[in-house]
Structures are given as structure tokens and as C-alpha cells.
A and B are shown apart, each in its own frame.
Chain A
């Protein structure tokens, strides 16, 4: 049973380009969460999605960032017109239930985004 799969592992973009980060949840999981980890900091919640629905995007920057989790395929975190401050590790996590079991949240290995 494969874990949470994220790709690419490393992504390099120049300022102004777009970054697309992908996350395939564990088999049987329909809840996906994106977190961002800046250097020397803990993980910060960005967005919580279920299939075709954004449930909570309270941690998403208001501009340039968007997320989706289509009926088919992986969840995508998209960052348009990247800036140097977007350089961070982006982690995806998935679970099979929406509430009450945070210990059943499984994290992917992350995508390290570097903006030149």
C-alpha cells in the first residue's frame, strides 16, 4: 500500500514562473491537506480539500495560490508568478476521515520548491 506520493521532490523555478505541485493520497483516502514549511520553521496549514471541494483554505495566501482535488487524479497546489519568498517545502497529507483522528494523518515526503 503506497503512502502519500508527492512529485516532484524538487522543483526549481525562476521568479514569475508557475509552480505545480502534485499529491496522490494514500489509497482509500479522500481528504487531502497541504502544509508549507519555511526554513527553520514548523509546518503551517494551507488548505484542506475533499474530492472536488475546498473545505478550508484559511491558510492560503490570498493571491497567486490555488489548490484543487479533482474527481480523478492527484491534488494540485498551484503557485502563479512565484517569488523568492515562496521557496519552501510543501507537504501534502491525507486521511480517510474528516474529523477526530489526527493521528491517522499521513504525510508525503514533500516537494522542495526553490525560486531563483
Chain B
């Protein structure tokens, strides 16, 4: 059974801080790893990672994958209050159509 574990469970920082969120996984047949941001509504897609060592970047957010050690990190620099959300990590099954999610990291950014 595929498994995804995220840490920390929750995090409180101040605006301007940099945060690192962790995701470790165990899958039968690795295809990709996805990051989502969930505010009080639908999870929205951030990144999909398939190759080790290649950083994906979008503004102040970046993510990298280590397929040897089976983990990924999501970095957010110069955090803003709008970054407050639950960040979810997920891996698809072999068919690529069903996601196993981690428990999420709840990030709160204080002004």
C-alpha cells in the first residue's frame, strides 16, 4: 500500500520568514509526486515532480525531489499571510488515476 507522510504537522511563522515543508513517501511503482495548496476550499495544484534533483519553481515557491531517499521538500521564501493554508503532498497509483495524500502541513503566516 502506498504511503505518504508529511512533516511538520503544523507551522506558525511571521511574514518574511522562509519555510520548508517535508514529504516522504513509499510507493510500489513511483511515477510522480504532487504538491497542492488547500485553503478553505478545493486543493489547487502547485507542482508535479518526476525527476530527482530538478527544482521546480513558481514565484516564491520551489520544490525538489530526491528519489533515492524517497522525499520531497517544498520551500516558500518571504512568506506572506496569503500563504496560510494546508499544503498537501500526494503520489499517484500505478495507473496514474488515484492519489494517495499525506496528512498535510498546516501553515499559518502571521503579520
Contacts and interface: CB of A to CB of B under 8 A. Distances in A.
Interface of A: 3-4, 31, 33, 35, 40-45, 48, 56, 91, 95, 98-103, 105-110
Given A41-B103, A42-B101, A100 B42 contact: no
Nearest to A43: B101
Contacts of A40: 103
Q: Could you tell me the dominant secondary structure of chain B's interface residues?
A: strand
Interface of B: 4, 6, 31-32, 34, 41-45, 48, 88, 90, 92, 95-104
Contact of B43 (A31, A91, A103): A91
25 contacts: A31-B97, A35-B99, A41-B103, A41-B104, A42-B4, A42-B101, A42-B104, A43-B43, A43-B88, A43-B90, A45-B99, A91-B43, A95-B97, A98-B95, A98-B97, A99-B95, A99-B96, A102-B34, A102-B48, A103-B32, A103-B45, A103-B48, A106-B42, A107-B44, A108-B42
